[in-house]
Chain A
Amino acid sequence: MITGIPQSAGFRWAYKAYVTLFFIYLALPLATVCVFAFNNSVFPSLPWEGFTWAWFFGTEAPYIGVFHERPILRSIVTSGVVAFWVSLLAVFVGTCNAFLFVRHEFRGKGFLYILMLLPLIIPGIILGISILVFSSSVANFLEDATGLWFDGLRPGLILVILGQFSFITTFATLVISARLQKFDPSLEEAALNLGATRWGAVRAVTLPFLFPAMAAAGVVAVLMSFENFNTTLMLVGSDAPLTITMFDRLKLGSTPVLNAVSLLLIVVSALLGLASLLLQKRKD
């Protein structure tokens, strides 16, 4: 922090005002979404018709709350299933990648590292269409060759999981590698000296050390999967995850039930985000 620099009181005041305005700007859309989840009206807009919990717990049309709205509940479950698999796959491959890039020297390592980072700079929608085009041609080829159906390669949950996994793995790799780099290899050598096998030492010493990063990567993966839109949009089949369902609703015009879902999403994502930060910051 810089002290002792002459600045006019007016400038300081204006700067503070600007920073305050900025944070209002950041909070405004989210706060609005949350407030209108409690408005006793069928439109998420003014005038304010009074406070209600109906958009959460209501059971009578048109006041059907989130917890009684089947299509939304179903899409939350779908999102959960997708997030679970994406997170599992991304943490597994990310951990393998971390060991590969941190522990091994080999020809073409730099090139592979750049390739590993590429998913970060490919726009999500392009990632989606490229996987769509590729899997469809593979499916066409296999179906022509064998006469069997390959539904897994057509738009649907499997492709959504693969599409999200394809770029979330990069994040998982970066988070887990960062922690593995801080690991003191002499700890593992000590385990080996004490008679542990290679894999035994990794399992007993290195993996527990990596665990916070793996958990953080898992949480980040769940978060990113839950809110991914672009890639999912191109690969989705009949079972739509939450963001897609909400998008379709939004295009048709919305009721405050969307605000209620959004409020729940805001709370859950803030908690997950904080959890991932705490996991990554944990000292040992």
Chain B
Amino acid sequence: MSDRSKLTFWLLLAPLLIWLLTLIILPHVGMFLVSLREKVGVREYETGFANYAVFFNEPLYWNTFARTAYMSIAATLLTLLIGFPIAYYIAKLTRGRSKTTLFLMCLIPFWVSELVRTFGWMILLRETGVFSNLLQYVGLASGPVEMLYNDAAIMTGLVYTSMLFMVVPLVTTLDSLDDSLIEAGYDLGASGFAILREIVIPHAMPGIVSGCIVVFMLSLGNYLTPILLGGKDSLWFTGLIYSQFITRFNWELGSAFGFLLLGLSSLIVFVGLKLSRQSLGKTMAQ
């Protein structure tokens, strides 16, 4: 390398290193150190795992953690179930202009702020909302029906918010499946279900895995949807982190919570990638 291109290399490397070090690596190291701090007096600290012990000894905390995890898993599976037929329809049963239009119609809601989408669901679901009025009008309900502030509302919001991140990778992988394989399956007498199981799903597996990983991560780290649609008792782990930081001002415990959430999220990503033998780069590029 000449001196000139060495200089170029370092000039290009510098912004990357500054960005990653000051905004990603050091803050996370710092947060981990804070999570190990035990408050013993005013501005007096000891190092230890007490904050993590608090988490495991307090049922409310780890119950919320577990609940967040399994609700996120449920949201992921639901998104996959609802999204798969749509992705198949877009990829295999339409073409040309109508394909582009349907795909765009999937995209547009997700360019809009999550806050606006959640607000929409609040107007639809609340006691004075559209659905409640509709039910009364049709005569299926005698009084106002509150559909907000329960787990089903949270689930509706999570699935809605994550749909795009499932449909896009599925459409991409299904697009690359050669139609003649499906037709050959039919010609050889396979049933629709057998073709789905033997041809379509195995081919779509990379898309399914990357979609599931992203949707799970987004649900786990979601704050708006559970808080606004689930109300005060939504018991979402990000809500606990927020209250430790902002209302209780207990940054030590909040950091420990943050690390646990980050750990779970990374673990799932890691396991997902290992199971599907994919690399992070490839999955995220989809």
Contacts and interface: CB of A to CB of B under 8 A. Distances in A.
A33 B30 contact: no
Given A104-B12, A129-B31, A250-B122, A121 B111 contact: no
A33 B123 contact: yes
Contact of A132 (B115, B126, B245, B269): B245
Contacts of A211: none
B92 A1 contact: yes
A13 interface: no
Nearest to B159: A25
A15 B115 CA distance: 31
Interface stretch (A53-61, A67-75, A112-120, A185-193): A112-120
Interface of B: 4, 8-9, 11-13, 15-16, 19-20, 23-28, 30-31, 34, 82, 85-86, 89, 92-95, 102, 105-109, 111-117, 119-124, 126, 128-130, 133, 160, 163, 179, 182-183, 186, 192, 217, 220-224, 228, 238, 241-242, 245-246, 251, 254-255, 258, 261-262, 265-266, 269, 280-281, 284-285
Interface in A35-84: 36, 43-47
A258 B119 contact: yes
Contact of B221 (A112, A124, A227): A124
25 contacts: A1-B93, A1-B94, A15-B89, A23-B102, A25-B160, A29-B124, A32-B120, A33-B119, A33-B123, A36-B123, A45-B130, A96-B15, A100-B16, A104-B12, A115-B20, A119-B24, A120-B284, A121-B280, A123-B217, A126-B261, A227-B115, A230-B222, A247-B224, A251-B228, A265-B116
Contacts of B86: 19, 22
Contact of A130 (B8, B15, B31, B102): B31
B128 to A, nearest CB: 4
Contact of B85 (A15, A47, A114, A246): A15
A195 interface: no
Contacts of A135: 27
A196 interface: no
A54 B186 CA distance: 60
A226 B112 CA distance: 10
A27 interface: yes
A169 interface: yes
List the 9 closest A-B pairs by CB distance, nearest first.
A29-B120, A123-B221, A227-B113, A273-B111, A130-B27, A134-B27, A166-B23, A134-B30, A100-B12
A99 B12 contact: yes
B contact face: mostly helix, strand, loop, or mixed: helix
Given A5-B182, A106-B9, A162-B23, A114 B261 contact: no
Contact of B28 (A1, A6, A121, A130): A130
Interface string A214-248: 00000000010011011001100000000100110
Nearest to A173: B16
A270 B123 contact: no
Interface string A80-101: 0000000000001100110110
Given A119-B24, A166-B19, A250-B228, A234 B245 contact: yes
Contacts of B89: 15, 19
A2 B120 CA distance: 36
A15 B222 CA distance: 31
A119 B129 CA distance: 38
Contacts of A137: 30, 34
B27 to A, nearest CB: 4
A3 to B, nearest CB: 9
Given A46-B128, A119-B24, A251-B228, 14 more contacts: A1-B179, A28-B124, A30-B117, A33-B123, A45-B133, A92-B15, A104-B12, A106-B9, A126-B262, A131-B27, A174-B284, A174-B285, A229-B115, A258-B119
Contacts of B82: 22
Given A33-B123, A46-B133, A165 B114 contact: no
Interface string A241-281: 00100110011001000110010011001101100010000
B262 A247 contact: no
Contact of A46 (B13, B85, B130): B130
Given A104-B9, A133-B30, A133-B34, A33 B116 contact: yes
